[in-house]
Chains A and B, each alone.
Chain A
Amino acid sequence: MRLERRAHVPLHLVILAPLAAVFAALLLAAGLIAAAEVNPLTAYGEMLRGALGSRLSITEMLTRATPLIFTGLAAAVAFRARLWNIGGEGQFFVGALVTAWIGHSLGVPGWIGVPLLMLAGMAAGAALLAGPAFLRLRFGVDEVVTTLLLNFIVILFVGLMIEGPLRDPLAFGWPSSVPVDGDFRLPDLVPRTRLHIGLLFAIAAAGAVWLVLARTVFGAETRAAGLNASAAAFAGISLPRTIMGVALLSGALAGLAGSVEVMGVTAGVTTTMSPGFGYAGIVVAMLAALHPAGVVAAAVFVATVFVGADAMSRATGVPSFIADVIVALCLLTMLVALLFTTYRVRR
Chain B
Amino acid sequence: MTKVLELHNITKRFGALTANDDVTLTLDQGEILALLGENGAGKTTLMNILFGHYAADEGTVRVFGQDLPPGLPRAAIAAGVGMVHQHFTLAGNLTVLENVMLGSEPLTRLKSARGEAKRKLMAIADRFGLPVKPEAKISSLSVGERQRVEILKALYRDARVLILDEPTAVLARPEAMRLFETLRDMTKEGLSLIFISHKLHEVMAASDRVAVLRGGKMVAERRTRETTPGELAELMVGRKVERPVRHDHQIGAPVLVADKVRVEDGGETRLDDVSFTVHAGEILGIVGVSGNGQAALGALLSGLAHPASGTLTLADQDVGHLGPRGMIRAGAGRVPEDRHAEGVVGELSLWENAVLERLRTPEFSRRGFVRQGAAKAYTNDLIKRFDIRGAAPDTRIRLLSGGNMQKLILGRVLSNGPRFVLANQPTRGLDEGAIAAVHAELLAARAEGAAILLISEELEEAVALSDRIQAIVKGRLSEPISADEADPQRLGLMMAGVWTEDDHAA
Asked if B346 contacts A237 (CB within 8 A), the reply is no
B336, B370, B396 interface centre (most CB from chain A within 10 Å):
B370
The residues in A between 202 and 246 inclusive whose CB is less than 8 angstroms from any CB of B are: 215-221, 223-224, 227-228, 230-237
Q: Taking CB as reference atom, which chain A residue is nearest B72?
A: A347
Render B319-341 as a binary contact track against A, CB cut-off 8 A, 1 for contact: 00001111010000010100001
B348: A residues at CB distance < 8 A = 223-224, 227
Q: Which of B55, B342, B372, B396 contacts A231 (CB under 8 A)? A: B342
Q: Contacts A217-B369, A228-B345 given; indicate if A233 touches B304 (C-beta within 8 A).
A: yes
Whole-angstrom CA separation of A347 from B52 in the bound complex: 10
Asked if A236 contacts B328 (CB within 8 A), the reply is yes
A236: B residues at CB distance < 8 A = 303, 323-326, 328, 357
Asked if B360 contacts A217 (CB within 8 A), the reply is yes
The residues in B between 53 and 73 inclusive whose CB is less than 8 angstroms from any CB of A are: 53-55, 71
Render A319-347 as a binary contact track against B, CB cut-off 8 A, 1 for contact: 00000000000000000000000000011
Q: Which of A2, A223, A233, A234 contacts B334 (CB under 8 A)? A: A234
Q: Which of B326, B347, B360, B370 contacts A227 (CB under 8 A)? A: B347
Q: Taking CB as reference atom, which chain A residue is nearest B329?
A: A236
Q: How far is the CB of B225 from chain A (nearest CB, A)?
A: 40
Q: Check if B498 is an interface residue, CB within 8 A of chain A.
A: no
Asked if A220 contacts B343 (CB within 8 A), the reply is no
Asked if A231 contacts B344 (CB within 8 A), the reply is yes
Asked if B368 contacts A230 (CB within 8 A), the reply is no
A232: B residues at CB distance < 8 A = 345, 356
Render B356-371 as a binary contact track against A, CB cut-off 8 A, 1 for contact: 1101100001001110
Q: How far is the CB of A187 from chain B (nearest CB, A)?
A: 32
Q: Check if A7 is an interface residue, CB within 8 A of chain B.
A: yes
Please tell me the size bucket of the interface on A.
20 to 34
Render B124-144 as a binary contact track against A, CB cut-off 8 A, 1 for contact: 000000000000000000000
Asked if A235 contacts B346 (CB within 8 A), the reply is no
Q: How far is the CB of B72 from chain A (nearest CB, A)?
A: 10
Asked if A231 contacts B304 (CB within 8 A), the reply is no
Q: How far is the CB of B304 from chain A (nearest CB, A)?
A: 7
B457: A residues at CB distance < 8 A = none
Q: Contacts A215-B369, A217-B370, A347-B55 given; indicate if A234 touches B302 (C-beta within 8 A).
A: yes
Asked if B370 contacts A220 (CB within 8 A), the reply is yes
Interface majority SS (helix, strand, loop, mixed), chain A: helix
Q: How far is the CB of A263 from chain B (nearest CB, A)?
A: 29
Q: Contacts A234-B304, A236-B303, A347-B55 given; indicate if A224 touches B369 (C-beta within 8 A).
A: no
Whole-angstrom CA separation of A346 from B54 in the bound complex: 8
Whole-angstrom CA separation of A223 from B359 in the bound complex: 13
Q: Contacts A7-B399, A227-B345 given; indicate if A235 touches B365 (C-beta within 8 A).
A: no
Q: Contacts A233-B304, A236-B325 given; indicate if A224 touches B345 (C-beta within 8 A).
A: yes
Asked if A224 contacts B55 (CB within 8 A), the reply is no
The residues in A between 106 and 134 inclusive whose CB is less than 8 angstroms from any CB of B are: none
Q: Taking CB as reference atom, which chain B residue is nearest A234?
A: B342
Whole-angstrom CA separation of A148 from B408 in the bound complex: 42
Asked if A230 contacts B71 (CB within 8 A), the reply is no
Render A85-109 as a binary contact track against B, CB cut-off 8 A, 1 for contact: 0000000000000000000000000
A217: B residues at CB distance < 8 A = 359-360, 365, 368-370
The residues in B between 223 and 247 inclusive whose CB is less than 8 angstroms from any CB of A are: none
Whole-angstrom CA separation of A234 from B337 in the bound complex: 11
Whole-angstrom CA separation of A149 from B438 in the bound complex: 53
Q: Which of B53, B54, B324, B360 contacts A233 (CB under 8 A)? A: B324
Q: How far is the CB of A209 from chain B (nearest CB, A)?
A: 15
A216: B residues at CB distance < 8 A = 368-370
Whole-angstrom CA separation of A221 from B324 in the bound complex: 14
Q: Contacts A228-B346, A231-B342, A234-B304 given; indicate if A220 touches B368 (C-beta within 8 A).
A: no
Asked if B341 contacts A230 (CB within 8 A), the reply is yes
Whole-angstrom CA separation of A347 from B69 in the bound complex: 13
Whole-angstrom CA separation of A347 from B57 in the bound complex: 13
Asked if A235 contacts B55 (CB within 8 A), the reply is no
Q: How far is the CB of A273 from chain B (nearest CB, A)?
A: 36
Q: How far is the CB of B352 from chain A (nearest CB, A)?
A: 6
Q: How far is the CB of A236 from chain B (nearest CB, A)?
A: 3
Asked if A221 contacts B359 (CB within 8 A), the reply is yes
B396: A residues at CB distance < 8 A = 8
Render B363-407 as a binary contact track against A, CB cut-off 8 A, 1 for contact: 001001110100000000000000000000000100100000000
Whole-angstrom CA separation of A218 from B369 in the bound complex: 8
The residues in B between 33 and 56 inclusive whose CB is less than 8 angstroms from any CB of A are: 53-55
Whole-angstrom CA separation of A218 from B367 in the bound complex: 11
Q: Contacts A224-B352, A237-B356 given; indicate if A2 touches B347 (C-beta within 8 A).
A: no
Whole-angstrom CA separation of A219 from B370 in the bound complex: 9
Q: How far is the CB of A241 from chain B (nearest CB, A)?
A: 12
Whole-angstrom CA separation of A327 from B71 in the bound complex: 40
Q: Taking CB as reference atom, which chain B residue is nearest A211?
A: B369
Whole-angstrom CA separation of A224 from B326 in the bound complex: 19
Asked if A235 contacts B324 (CB within 8 A), the reply is yes
Asked if B343 contacts A234 (CB within 8 A), the reply is yes
Asked if B345 contacts A231 (CB within 8 A), the reply is yes
Q: How far is the CB of B205 from chain A (nearest CB, A)?
A: 34
Asked if A234 contacts B345 (CB within 8 A), the reply is no
Q: Taking CB as reference atom, which chain B residue is nearest A219?
A: B370
Q: Which of B71, B323, B359 contacts A347 (CB under 8 A)? A: B71
Q: How far is the CB of B302 from chain A (nearest CB, A)?
A: 6
B326: A residues at CB distance < 8 A = 236
Whole-angstrom CA separation of A2 from B73 in the bound complex: 12
Whole-angstrom CA separation of A218 from B360 in the bound complex: 10
B334: A residues at CB distance < 8 A = 234
Asked if B345 contacts A220 (CB within 8 A), the reply is no
The residues in A between 49 and 108 inclusive whose CB is less than 8 angstroms from any CB of B are: none
Q: Which of A2, A8, A231, A233 contacts B343 (CB under 8 A)? A: A231
Can you list 22 A-B contacts (CB < 8 A)?
A7-B399, A215-B369, A217-B359, A217-B360, A220-B356, A220-B359, A223-B348, A224-B352, A227-B347, A228-B341, A230-B341, A230-B342, A231-B345, A231-B356, A232-B356, A234-B302, A234-B336, A236-B323, A236-B328, A237-B356, A346-B54, A347-B71
- What 4 A-B pairs come out closest when comparing CB atoms? A236-B324, A236-B325, A234-B342, A228-B345
By a beta-carbon cutoff of 8 Å, the part of chain A in contact with chain B is 2, 7-8, 215-221, 223-224, 227-228, 230-237, 346-347
A231-B344, A237-B359 given. 7 additional CB < 8 A pairs? A217-B360, A219-B370, A233-B304, A233-B342, A234-B334, A235-B357, A236-B323
